[in-house]
Amino acid sequence: LRDGSSHQGTVTSMDPNEGTFILHSETDK
């Protein structure tokens, strides 16, 4: 979860990447 929070900050800057990042996180888990 901590890793996700850190990425969220960088992802927040990119709206389109956010969706892709979330999907990858869920698939990884």
Look at the alpha carbons of 19, 23, 20, 4 in this order and tell me if their dihedral is positive or negative.
positive
For the chain, percent of residues with pLDDT exceeding 70: 0
Residue 20 has pLDDT above 60, yes or no: yes
Average pLDDT over residues 2-28: 56
What's residue 1's pLDDT? 47
Separation CA 15–CA 29 (nearest Å): 22
What's residue 17's pLDDT? 56
Q: Where are the alpha helices (DSSP H) in 1-29?
A: 2-13, 15-28
What's residue 21's pLDDT? 62
